[in-house]
Amino acid sequence: MENNNNGKATASLVLGIVSIVFIFFNVYAFIGLILAIIGLIIGIQAQKESPENGMAKAGVVLSIIGLVLCAISFIACAICIGAFSSLRYFY
């Protein structure tokens, strides 16, 4: 159980770090977004199973940072619902 928990914590930490790297890839930041989401869910699970696990805590924090930064980076050309009007821009 402890090993399993450590595995989850490590996975969360790694995913959190990798997701942060993706903030520099503009539109491809969505890959970082997906990694951060997975890292966050696994990290929360590990943290809930053993609240004292520092690695899980770090994984959760890094995944949150990755999620936030990738979200900002991904929606950089943000246009709410009228995004299709931006097609004119690309034509």
Partner 1 sequence: MLPTIEVLGREISLYGLMGVIGIFFGVIAAIYRRKIYNINKEDVIFSSCYAGIGLLIGAKLLFIITIIPDLIKHKDLLLANPKLLLHILSGGLVFYGGLIGAFLGFYIYSKQYKIDFLDILDLIAPSIPLIHGFGRIGCFTAGCCYGIEYDGLFHVIFQRSQAAPNGVALLPVQLISSGINFLGCIPFFIYARKKRKPGKIIGIYLIFYSIARFTIEFFRGDVARGIFFGVSTSQWISLVLIPIGLWLYFNKFAPDQE
> Binding pattern to partner 1, positions 43-82, x when CB under 8 A?
-x--xx--x--------x---x--xx--xxxxxxxxxxxx
Question: Applying CB under 8 A, which of residues 33, 35, 46, 62 lies at the interface with partner 1?
Answer: 33
Least distance in angstroms from the C-beta of 67 to partner 1 = 7
Q: Among candidates 78, 79, 76, 61, which has minimal Cα distance to 19?
A: 61
**CA-CA distance, 10 to 20, in Å (whole number)?**
16
User: Do 33 and 19 contact (CB within 8 A), yes or no?
Assistant: yes
**CA-CA distance, 80 to 85, in Å (whole number)?**
11
Element counts in the chain: helices (H) and strands (E):
4, 0
Least distance in angstroms from the C-beta of 28 to partner 1 = 8
Specify the residue, 7 or 83, whose C-beta has the smaller distance to partner 1. Answer: 83
The residues of the shown chain that bind partner 1, judged by CB under 8 A, are: 27, 30, 33, 37, 40-41, 44, 47-48, 51, 60, 64, 67-68, 71-87, 89-90
